[in-house]
Amino acid sequence: MPRSTKSSKSSVHAIITKEAPSISALAEEVGRPIILVAADETEITTTSTSYPSSDQKYFLFCNTFSYVTMRVAVEGKISTSGQTLYVGIFKGGTQVGELSFTGTRYVVKNINISISDVPSTSSVQIGIRMKVTGGTGYVRMVEFYTIP
């Protein structure tokens, strides 16, 4: 049975498991097993046109098994046609990737980030920050997977 821990700042849950049936399609896409390490399905919004100074959803990651890649899946949308929601992926406070959403209906987008520099002896915060060009941006799901 998976164990779960909850962050005190947000409702991020770290899931410790070998493989969950709901991620089999994603594992098939990358061609090898993947491991869900954290997920959050609490909807957050922003109207800010710049990234905030701290992560809006995050978890602390310790690279115990020396994984090289992390896949970040985000479900987002923008309220107003012609505007864009940007979701920055941050590792240790530094932006390492970005996803953009221009549709007014929720869609899931993925990005791979390198975690090869995360040591096994300490943890690093990995999270997202949101900004928009106009309107309101919505994120209702973020998932973090390691790819062995």
- CA-nearest of 98, 118, 119, 120 to 109 is 98
pLDDT at 7 over 50: no
pLDDT of residue 30: 66
Q: Is pLDDT at 113 greater than 90 in this prediction?
A: yes
Give residue 104's Cα distance to chain centre. 20
Contact assessment for residue 115 and residue 104, using Cβ atoms and an 8 Å cutoff = no
pLDDT reported for residue 11: 36
How do residues 67-77 score in pLDDT, each as one tens digit? 899 999 999 99
